[in-house]
């Protein structure tokens, strides 16, 4: 899956379960059984990070947020 800034590029994830997202993304995230997964998409200068936050309800994707932040990533 190609990472980019357009949130609508990830609309197909709304039809997926957490198992399907895991197979699709194949990247490290915070904790599998959690209802929110955090993917660090890119790390830039001055400790800038772009994160993708995926929230689940009943094992299905409910919300996707893309945030740019500096310093530590907190969910």
Q: Which two three-digit tokens encode residue 69? A: 């932040």
Is 2's pLDDT higher than 50? no
pLDDT in tens, 29-69: 666 778 888 888 788 877 788 888 899 999 899 999 888 88
Instruction: Answer yes or no: are the C-beta atoms of 13 and 61 closer than 8 Å.
Output: yes
pLDDT in the model for residue 30: 67
Is 7's pLDDT higher than 70? no
pLDDT in the model for residue 75: 56
As a whole number of angstroms, the distance between CA 9 and CA 42 comes to 17
Among the listed ranges 11-15, 18-22, 43-47, 51-55, which one has the minimum average pLDDT value? 43-47
Percent of residues in the chain assigned helix, strand, coil, to nearest 5: 25, 40, 35
As a whole number of angstroms, the distance between CA 70 and CA 13 comes to 26
Which 3 state secondary structure label does DSSP give 34?
coil
**pTM exceeds 0.75:** no
As a whole number of angstroms, the distance between CA 41 and CA 56 comes to 19
């Amino acid at each position: 899956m190609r990472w980019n800034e357009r949130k609508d590029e990830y609309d197909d994830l709304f039809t997926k379960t957490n198992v399907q997202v895991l197979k699709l993304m194949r990247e490290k995230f915070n904790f599998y059984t959690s209802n929110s997964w955090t993917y660090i998409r890119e790390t830039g200068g001055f400790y800038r990070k772009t994160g993708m936050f995926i929230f689940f309800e009943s094992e299905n994707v409910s919300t996707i947020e893309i945030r740019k932040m500096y310093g530590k990533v907190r969910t």
